[in-house]
Amino acid sequence: MQDAKGPDQLFQRALAEGEILLPKCDDCRAYHFFPRVLCPHCHGTAISWKQAGGKGRVHTTTVVRRKPERGGDYNVCVVELDEGVRMMSRVEGIAPGEVVIDMPVTAFVGEAEGVPAVLFKPSEG
């Protein structure tokens, strides 16, 4: 990961390797997302990268409506991970309209528009 040039490239390189890494400030110990060079909480510059636990809950959700010949409807949501960060993504594996606020979900590295992306699926149990 050391040859990545900036925080976005480091995050994307990790996704390409099947890992979901989150930036964590070494000064205030808070996670943040999206990747950046300054901590948005304390403005510290000492940032480490930690493996995400992958568990979270749907914070907001909507269904984007499309004609079937254009791919059909899909879900867009914001998920709050257990680490306290929120990321925009989608929940896969269920109908878009079945995604509800506070639904427990699990992150995985999938693909969106041909590039690796953090996606979610409903948590089991």
Check pLDDT > 50 for residue 1: no
Distance CA 88, CA 80 (A): 9
Chain segment 52-94, per-residue pLDDT in tens = 999 999 999 999 999 999 989 999 999 999 999 999 999 999 9
Say what the pLDDT of residue 4 is. Answer: 57
- The CATH number given to 55-122 is 2.40.50
Give the start-to-end residue ranges of the domains of the chain. 7-51, 55-122
pTM: 0.89
- The gap between the terminal CA atoms of the chain, to the nearest Å, is 34
For residue 8, the SS3 value is helix
- Taking residue 87's Cβ as centre, other Cβ atoms within 10 Å add up to 20
Q: How far is CA 12 from the centre of its chain?
A: 11
Strand segments, DSSP code E, in 67-114 are 74-81, 86-89, 104-112
Mean pLDDT of the chain: 94
Q: In this structure, is the dihedral angle defined by the CA atoms of residues 119, 97, 125 and 59, taken in order, positive or negative?
A: positive
Question: How many angstroms separate the Cα of 105 from the Cα of each of 10, 51, 64, 97?
Answer: 24, 17, 19, 15
